[in-house]
Structure 1
Amino acid sequence: MPYLPGVQGVGRLDDGTPLWFSTTAGMRPGDGSMAEYCVLPAADVVTLPDDVDHTLIAALGLSAVAAWVTLTSRGEMRQGEQVLVLGAGGVVGQVALQVARLHGARRIIAACRSTAAQERARKRGADAVVALTDFDDVESLAARLPEACDGPVDVVLDPLFGVPAAAALRTLNAHGRLVNLGSSAGEHAPFDSATLRSRSLRLLGYTNNELSTEQKARALRVVADHAAAGRLVLDYETTSLTDAGEAWSPQADGRATSRIVLTPDGTTCRNT
């Protein structure tokens, strides 16, 4: 069968049952989700409630799963803790801000690059926003971050790594946790041994690829339940599957302002 890119999607069975599914596209040879019909193992599908916006679930998808598991499981976030979300204007970051609020964070700080990203973070509930710039070094960013915090931070969600991760480590409380799930700001971070050792910090890695089928399905069901209740939201726009190449151009060069969802029937809309 042909290789069809796309790692997740929402569809219906022949009997009309709505479901979400993930694929191994991009990880190994096989079919993806950019098609009107997809063939995949029954274990890889998650039945969705009828009262949820299924396009919203497609937009949230694995990004929401990553944000949810990173904070609640890998990062072991507890009620009353202070949370710092790096790259908070992205999809994972926006969901993480909402997850932190749902789990009782006492203060949530967002760090973002662009003005638009900063506005998205405020819209999703950040108590304070710190601007990231291309000129930041560890010392200057580490000096600015605490100004937005109410004392030391307990958990950092980090899809950036590089300088932002090194600076965020310095904000952590004793036994604080930084969970990394990306490297868009750099493959290497200039942090020092003394910072890690002095407060017995934990630097943790996370990937959705490590989740079992059951763990992924369980997280997605929780995300869907919160979305159905209006507690998890995200801006998205839809476009026709036939226009996938054109639609993905702004996504690839960083100009996209919302998540793009492809639809096989050509329906287009914007949800903000």
Structure 2
Amino acid sequence: MRAAEIPAPGRPPEITDREPPEPGPGEVVVAVRAAPITPLDLLCASGTSYFGVPRTPYVPGVQGVGTVDGRAVWFPTSAGMTPGDGSMAALACVPEADLVALPPDVDPVRLAALGLSAVAAHRALTSTGGLTAGETVIVLGAGGVVGQVAVQLARLAGAARVVAGARSAAAQERARSAGADAVVALDTNDVAELGARFAEAAGGAADLVLDPLYGVPAAAAARALGPGGRLVNLGGSAGETSPLDSSTLRSRSLRVLGYTNNALTREDRAESITHLAAAQSLSVAHERVPLDEAAAAWERQAAGGAEGRIVLVV
């Protein structure tokens, strides 16, 4: 079978022919249709992640969409985190308990592009953030996959107003395309200035901030929250620390909440994937690339030169 294979840590994948995988106890073989190249795939393959140096060669791909006996399924893998192979191949072995059944008419590339990033947006907004209809939501990093999904999900949940924060012009345009009412440029490290921009864009006290950035953007967005407002953090791409001041937290009795997909049960994950699959209007910027072009696609994704999330099509 055709597969993308990481030959050594820190190197892009190479296309190779492999023997089809043999399922172990409790596993099934999935015929892969679409596999996204995600930040976690890039991190694991670098050999610098907290999971340690992966055993090479291996097939990367921590998630994918495919079929089992003609039935459409979404599936996760632990490729790069534990020994074994992932989704970037014609066939993948997966524990049957991890499969999530999908509608037969699902677009595999759309769902693969959403994947676990969209699961994080869904759970952080709902289960952790407690979003209700009529609230005002600020979504930071709204040009990324998590942010694009969060803007759309907040809209679908009945948010009264959705404000996006994004850095580059391209990211700001993606946020607008996702349906944000207003977009704030994250082009300054002045917390007061940025906070004033968020407050003006919100048009009143905001209720919830979805924050995959932390750092200055989180501290600024918190200043736009009203009494009892919530900030849900699910990443630190703008900084591992934040100048979020005590007076802002105390004066409005704000709640700062942490979120990670690692805390999800299989049932939680399956519930979110099912919700995302059913919301056919939900999509993020993505590219379809044939599996045989995985090496160049991998390097473009790593360098930030892709038009959104790259999805390898098998």
Q: Please give the alpha-carbon distance, in whole angstroms, between the structure 2 residues aligned to 1:216 and 1:111.
A: 27
Gap change, CA 1:87 and 1:16, over 3 Å in 2: same
Q: Kindly indicate whether the alpha-carbon contact (under 8 Å) linking 2:287 and 2:307 is maintained by their aligned counterparts in 1.
A: no
2:61 counterpart of 1:11: no
Kindly indicate whether the alpha-carbon contact (under 8 Å) linking 2:122 and 2:272 is maintained by their aligned counterparts in 1.
Answer: yes
1:202 is displaced (CA, Å) by 0.8
Partner amino acid, structure 1, of 2:63: Q
Quickly say closer, same or farther: Cα 1:29–1:203, change in 2 above 3 A.
farther
- Give, in whole Å, the separation in 1 of the partners of 2:62 and 2:103: 21
Per-residue Cα deviation, 1:132-167 (whole angstroms, up to 9, x for no partner): 11x322122112211111201100011111100111
Residues 1:50 and 2:104 aligned together: yes
CA distance in 1, matches of 2:84, 2:257: 30
- Paired residue for 2:256, among 197, 200, 203? 203
| Structure 1 residue identity aligned to 2:311 | V
Residue 225 of structure 2: aligned partner: 172
Deviations 1:106-150 (Å, cap 9, x if unpaired)? 0000011111111111111100011111x3221221122111112
Q: What is the Cα deviation at residue 74 of structure 1?
A: 0.5
After superposition, the C-alpha distances for 1:29-77 in whole angstroms (9 at most, x for unaligned) are 3322112111111111111101221111111111111111110110001
**SS of 1:40's equivalent?**
strand
Deviation for aligned residue 1:250 = 2.6
Within the candidate set 240, 262, 267, 2:312 is matched to: 262
**1:155 paired residue number:** 208
Secondary structure, aligned partner of 2:247 = helix
Task: Give 4+ residue runs of structure 1 displaced > 4 Å after superposition.
Answer: none
Which segments of 5 or more consecutive residues in structure 2 lack a partner in the other structure? 1-20, 22-56
Aligned to 1:267: none
**2:85 aligned partner, one-letter code:** D
Q: Which of residues 275, 283, 291 is equivalent to 1:241?
A: 291
Give the root-mean-square deviation of aligned CA atoms.
1.4
Give the alignment partner of residue 265 of structure 2, picking from 189, 192, 212.
212
| 1:41 aligns to 2:121 (yes or no) | no
Larger Rg: 2
Aligned to 1:89: 143
Query: Map of 1:111-130 to 2, 5 A cutoff?
Result: 111-130=165-184
**Equivalent runs, 1:56-75 vs 2, <5 Å:** 56-75=110-129
Q: Secondary structure at the match of 2:148?
A: helix
Instruction: Measure, in 2, the Cα distance between the counterparts of 1:251 and 1:138.
Output: 31
Aligned match of 2:49: none
Contact 2:196 2:224 in 1 (8 A): no
Q: Distance in 2 between matches of 1:54 and 1:129?
A: 30
The number of residue pairs the alignment matches comes to 259
CA apart distance, 1:235: 2.6
In the alignment, the residues of structure 1 paired with residue 80 and residue 205 of structure 2 have an alpha-carbon distance, to the nearest angstrom, of 39
The partner residue of 1:187 within 234, 237, 240 is 240
Alpha-carbon contact 2:231-2:257 (below 8 Å) kept = yes
Task: Give the TM-score, by structure 1 length.
Answer: 0.91
Deviations 1:192-243 (A, max 9, x none): 222111111111111111100111001100110112xx2x122321112232
Identity of aligned residues (%): 60
* Structure 1: unaligned runs, 5 residues or longer: 265-272
Structure 2 counterpart of 1:172, one-letter code: L
CA distance in 1, matches of 2:197, 2:90: 48
